[in-house]
Structure 1
Amino acid sequence: MEIHTSTLGSAAVLRCEGRLNMVSASQLRSAIDGTVKDGTKHVVVDLSGTSFIDSSGLGALIAGLKRARQAGGDLRIAAPGSQVRTVLTLTNLDRVLRPHERLEDAVHGW
């Protein structure tokens, strides 16, 4: 998996491309931790390029949410594909990590 970092408004955007699984979840955790340590409290994980997510990937998102909230910010997810959306729904994590259809929607309101 590749993670591309950019900024949109006051939020850091982490675009994940590939499979977010046991092998790559630590990459995402490190990227979120680094972003928050650098002082950016608002993080958006763009999942438009993510073709697959498993429980390790979900764990990385939840850990990132916790990290951002401890810093006084938040983490949002944007543009999940059908497989990612299905996993979020089946695990009821779509209630905690509410998916935004577009990246711009996720950034709006900060």
Structure 2
Amino acid sequence: MPSYATRSVDSGAVVIAPQGRLNMVAAPGLRAQLHELVANGSIRIVIDLSGTDFIDSSGLGALVSALKAARQAGGDLRIATPSRQIETVLELTNLNRVLRVYPSSDEAFDDER
């Protein structure tokens, strides 16, 4: 399973940037990595989708699962820089109401500083 690089931003959130396709092949690894971040105390997470060109239901499931875990731990998960395809999928599934989208990963938690 692929492991994605993470970094911290000024707001204290952890940014993870999956690359390529977020589908049934990649989603389990992302889900595991996100749950591990939450388990290790990183409860404010930004998913930087600037390098992700496709998402399917498996990818959405990984994001929703991690959102739930982060919120149960007292944090949140936010989306940054999604492609048009990903924005469309979020809109069609109404997940854009739950997964908040931001123009950049550095700005995703600025409202909480």
Task: Name the TM-score class by shorter chain.
Answer: over 0.9
Q: Secondary structure at the match of 2:51?
A: strand
For residues 13 and 105 of structure 2, what CA distance do their matches in structure 1 show? 11
8 Å contact from structure 2 (residues 67, 76) kept in 1 = yes
TM-score using structure 1 length: 0.94
Shift of 1:109: 2.4
8 Å contact from structure 1 (residues 15, 48) kept in 2 = yes
Asked if 1:92 corresponds to 2:98, the answer is no
- Structure 1: segments with no counterpart, 5+ residues: none
1:36-88 per-residue CA deviation (whole Å, 9 max, x = no partner) reads: 11111101110010000000000000000000011110000100001101100
Dislocated runs of 4+, deviation >4 Å = none
| Aligned residue type for 1:14 | I
| Aligned residue type for 1:3 | Y
Matches within 5 A, 1:21-100: 21-100=23-102
Q: How many residues align?
A: 110
For residues 78 and 31 of structure 1, what CA distance do their matches in structure 2 show? 18
For residues 103 and 72 of structure 1, what CA distance do their matches in structure 2 show? 20
| Aligned residue type for 1:16 | P
| Aligned residue type for 1:74 | D
TM-score using structure 2 length: 0.92
Identity %: 52
